[in-house]
Structure 1
């Protein structure tokens, strides 16, 4: 049995809605594979992993993986994940969201989860669009892009997920793309191994709702675009800002080891118990 087949049988639920709902060329399946490989390579028990997901294409991961899973309401995945981690700090809690789920509807929760530095790993699958709900623009839809709700071009500024997470106080912040699967494997593994709040953003092409409206003839063209425009962080920092154009940096942006909120909470609770016992 090949390793791929072994991982499929070990970590996916075969009785749950297969074949999957992802469109041909969607990057979400690549992210799912990367997540499974990371959990496997770290030797994490499926019983000790809890995957929380919201609504949207990314939310279907909660249906497919054979972990403890919670499929929540739109934009509220991080609130559920926060409660789960505080109630059971020993769990490895992973929160999978799309850009609409994480930043448009759930943007306030993302900011405060990073500020609290709660021990949750957030995987944000950024396809620059609301994919499942009809192709509306999101808070990461690039300016000038066409969508179902911006047929003449998007006029608003966009969120930079990495910069937002850095400013809010996350312990670990990284970015990759569905084209860079090996980099994504490493980043997810590092995020799962680090205390506090970790965030990995992955650019995941959506040809069905975004690409076809924005001059990408095929989904292959979208992956080629990710390859051309992505720039390793070290090279990005050396580039003249005037020459960066529409390129974007990929790599690890923040690595800290500050204790997570759940660690501080448990330490406080233990201190109070000792104080009460000695009273």
Structure 2
């Protein structure tokens, strides 16, 4: 991926110097965090929601010291450049539709950090919080992606960021709130199915970004697309459940199979149109 020497976003907050933050006012222990992560996987519930409930409600996040990432931090600068490229792409696409794109912020943290959606944990992987319009990532996830999930490469890493930015696009389009408003009227399995469609759409949006980033700025190098497709496959619910040594339980899926994630990323990549990413109007995503 040709990223060196390109514009870096100013919307990056570096909280890593503050270290791991306490889990809310009373302080949730690591055992509680582990329970929330397991329950979230089994029940298909966002672990952030469970942690917020276990800690007595989410509430406003604590004030956390942050700064711009240092210029000599290669990985942090890479993230800032990818974020900037998503900004350029989505600003243009929104403008074509007569709308204004509101840029998200991206938070680098280490271990844990408070968010407007509850306490964020590195164990959850990168995530987007619609309540504060921020993408959160502990950069150690990239080591996990490479060494434990079998998805190396800088464009695999870029895909992860673009996917989370895709959730921000959903927030701006009103799709996130529409799905979440249906939570109380659906069974857990039905809501999981909607969550899968939301996640697959974010994959499609990340493909749309890759399409325009390459056409406008010749970002891609040989092998980059294969890296992204491999990453999408490896983090499919079915493959993650198999890797964990458990039984594959489709009713618990919240992100989709590896095959589905690959297909929707490819659809966005080949079409370059976010109108082609309507996962909610197909019979089986």
Give the TM-score, by structure 1 length.
Answer: 0.29
Structure having the higher Rg: 1
Q: Which has the higher contact order (CA 8 A, sep 6+)?
A: 2
When normalised by structure 2's length, the TM-score is 0.28
Greater per-residue strand proportion: 1
